[in-house]
Structure 1
């Protein structure tokens, strides 16, 4: 029995010999961001940002650049990712990519065939954010460093996610989402759009991180709507939030509405939001009933109502409901007439709830969406008035 155990343990030793494909950290570069522009001599210009681990930590940083940005041109993105040793001394590792930036020109002309490479590649994970660089080269977005995270890619990834969670002004779209929506029959893909404010050359200077008023920074500007693989147009940040309300993706946000007399504003901070969409075709016309129910707190008021009176809150709620219903309906109409794209994914609701009638729209949902009747109801409930019960403004 002892010899049997000895032979088993000896055999297990061969399974604990280490990683056969290990790579030393000193021989690789960690890529945190990628950007694609149109090339001057070739079809594409690929830019990557690689980070310097020692400069990313405040304990080991010595004041050098926290990351390096490199660019090369070619006709195939897959080949370009393997050719960066033309510039770099170490092998790029793409598994930690956080952001993919696409130039407005690339998206507008529909040169997005390379997205198939990202979807198929085993090394690249599908959880990175995709954004459009509006009004500038995509590569320049990766050159604007900042105090937070130090790396432009890591900062932008966090910025997009935080904007979506805290206010709802940016769609949280990663590669997996983009691929799924692109291949769906009842929804048009969207991507957040960012703008470079200031001088991109100064943005790459380490002094930009040390200034309380940076000379260059990246801001979330809008949302791009993709139709048939090309950019169809942009929406405002408020319209992005309207879309997220319909999609039941609002975590928290702040709505500003007017007092009943039109003088002054009230703030409504939403702490909970729930959306229910009922989809059904009636007499040959797709019908959608979108019911949005929210709960939140009174977050400041300039109105003169007596807050000890419960009817005052009802008036506030009616003002908020009227404003949001009007806003969402106007955006729905714009998506029909100007963009001709179902960014809400209502076609997917119809497919799930009434597939019998959706089948005829399988390849022509744009026609079904154009004639669809969409009803919106918004229900706001103010649960708390904050720390102050009485009015701050007395009159």
Structure 2
């Protein structure tokens, strides 16, 4: 979607000289918004919009300025804030190309029900934008940061979510339809991607820093935001994010580093990790069984090990299974004991398998979830060992 926006804008700009003032007037009537941020401002809302400057994304017309402008207003309702911003921008706000909605941590902790009400009612907004939470920051700070790889920061955030899911497995793609579905059901709690600033905040607002080899401020997808009902209650970190993604079949590819070896490590690329959540009854109470199957290839090996021997392959597979087990158990423990929220959809699995039992549990599911038994089984199969089977050894010159 992001490339299509840029392509269309470039066509409009280049056609200005050919079609008289009609195209110019059309583009000058619109403020094309690619990202929206919402923060808490006492009892009001602070709404931030990232608006494209069409001339700055064209090599022909660019003057070396920022390709986007950030506008922000404070209002008692989001709807009023958007209208107020349109008046101040002297253009009609165009919301159909919004790619990301960023929520400040403070407002996420206070509840996002009213925000969802607005974005689900606005007829101009599409439903295919991603929703994130700014960790230890505001949505304004995130959207006011320039990015070196993509000249439009909203494109950078949008594409980073898709790439991160494919190569790392630590993030979560959530669009409006899924968010509404999860919030409307008591058997699963919401999880959103977290975004953080790294580096020097103020310098990240200066377009001149984009010319540097090492920009002073960057945006990074990190952590997962865990909700209870519509309120943020905590964060998943590092391997907890991976454990969550394994349990919920949210991994396309990730890395498992086996560190138990004294002389070095082994890095596995995990592919095609899939899980099945099954429900059994024991004395009338549900037990959750999570069965995870993953295929892997050896990406790096730092020790001397003959990979043609089946016993060595089996040893690596067992170590990978233990690693994944630990990651899954760690995130389950955090969800049950600290966050007290069912982010895995265990309640939904109970509802599908035993709807009558779920009817007895759903009103008190938060308390029941804390004590439910969860069994994890993991099966890792190494499909590829690479083009070599032995680590190269140093040899003395004779």
User: Is the pair's TM-score, using the shorter chain for normalization, greater than 0.5?
Assistant: yes
- Which stretch has the larger CA shift, 361-370 or 338-347? 361-370
- How far apart, CA to CA, are the structure 2 residues paired with 1:148 and 1:282? 54
2:52 aligns with 51
Output the aligned Cα RMSD.
1.9
Contact 1:307–1:391 under 8 Å retained in 2: no
- How far apart, CA to CA, are the structure 2 residues paired with 1:205 and 1:330? 41
2:17 aligns with none
Q: What are the residue-to-residue correspondences of 1:143-158 with 2, within 5 Å? A: 143-158=144-159
Q: How many residues matched?
A: 371
1:284 aligns with 284
- How far apart, CA to CA, are the structure 1 residues paired with 2:53 and 2:30? 11
Contact 2:148–2:215 under 8 Å retained in 1: no
- How far apart, CA to CA, are the structure 2 residues paired with 1:351 and 1:263? 49
Post-superposition Cα deviations, 1:263-290, rounded to whole Å, max 9, x if no partner, equal: 4211111222221221133213221111
Q: What is the deviation of 1:177? A: 1.7
- Which stretch has the larger CA shift, 371-380 or 262-271? 262-271
Tell me the secondary structure at the aligned position of residue 114 of structure 2: coil
Structure with greater proportional helix content = 2
Q: What is the deviation of 1:112? A: 4.2
- How far apart, CA to CA, are the structure 1 residues paired with 2:307 and 2:393? 11
Q: What is the deviation of 1:316? A: 0.4
Contact 2:196–2:221 under 8 Å retained in 1: yes
- How far apart, CA to CA, are the structure 1 residues paired with 2:38 and 2:85? 14
- Which stretch has the larger CA shift, 48-57 or 332-341? 48-57
Pair 1:30 & 2:32 matched = yes
Which structure is larger by alpha-carbon Rg, 1 or 2? 1
- Which stretch has the larger CA shift, 280-289 or 329-338? 280-289
2:273 aligns with 273
Q: What are the residue-to-residue correspondences of 1:229-240 with 2, within 5 Å? A: 229-240=230-241
Contact 1:196–1:217 under 8 Å retained in 2: yes
Tell me the secondary structure at the aligned position of residue 316 of structure 1: helix
Q: 1:383 to 1:394 in 2, by over 3 A?
A: farther
For structure 1, the 5+ residue unaligned runs are 1-22
- How far apart, CA to CA, are the structure 2 residues paired with 1:290 and 1:280? 11
- How far apart, CA to CA, are the structure 2 residues paired with 1:140 and 1:258? 37
Pair 1:392 & 2:392 matched = yes
1:5 aligns with none
For structure 2, the 5+ residue unaligned runs are 1-24
Q: What is the deviation of 1:62? A: 3.1
Contact 1:285–1:368 under 8 Å retained in 2: no
- How far apart, CA to CA, are the structure 2 residues paired with 1:258 and 1:148? 33
- How far apart, CA to CA, are the structure 2 residues paired with 1:282 and 1:35? 47
Post-superposition Cα deviations, 1:141-168, rounded to whole Å, max 9, x if no partner, equal: 1111122221111111111221122111
Contact 1:285–1:371 under 8 Å retained in 2: no
Using structure 1 for the length normalisation, give the TM-score.
0.89
4+ residue runs over 4 A deviation: none
2:257 aligns with 256
Q: 1:228 to 1:214 in 2, by over 3 A?
A: same
2:191 aligns with 190
Tell me the secondary structure at the aligned position of residue 363 of structure 2: coil
1:327 aligns with 327
Contact 2:108–2:232 under 8 Å retained in 1: yes
Q: 1:224 to 1:350 in 2, by over 3 A?
A: same
Contact 2:240–2:330 under 8 Å retained in 1: no
- How far apart, CA to CA, are the structure 2 residues paired with 1:147 and 1:167? 21
Contact 1:248–1:274 under 8 Å retained in 2: yes
Post-superposition Cα deviations, 1:339-362, rounded to whole Å, max 9, x if no partner, equal: 001111111111112222112122
Q: What is the deviation of 1:169? A: 0.7
Q: 1:113 to 1:85 in 2, by over 3 A?
A: closer
Pair 1:208 & 2:225 matched = no
Tell me the secondary structure at the aligned position of residue 362 of structure 1: helix
Q: What is the deviation of 1:237? A: 3.0
1:17 aligns with none
Post-superposition Cα deviations, 1:328-378, rounded to whole Å, max 9, x if no partner, equal: 112211110000011111111111122221121222222332221111011
- Which stretch has the larger CA shift, 54-63 or 25-34? 54-63
Q: What is the deviation of 1:60? A: 4.4
